[in-house]
Amino acid sequence: MTTPTALATHQARTRLNELTIIDVRTPGEYASGHLPGALNIPLDQIQRALPDIRHATDRGDVLVVCASGARSQNACKILADNGITAATLSGGTGAWAADGHELHRPQGTSRATWGMERQVRLTAGAIVLLGLLLGLVVHPAFQLLSAGIAAGLVFSALTNTCGMAALLAKLPHNRPRAADLDHTLAALRNR
For the annotated catalytic residues, the residue numbers are 66
Comparing C-alpha atoms, which of 87, 42, 43, 88 is closest to residue 68?
A: 88
DSSP per-residue string spanning 134-153: HHHHT-GGGHHHHHHHHHHH
Contact 66, 26 (CB under 8 A): no
DSSP per-residue string spanning 37-64: T-EE--GGGHHHHHHHHHHHHTTS-EEE
SS3 category, 1 = coil
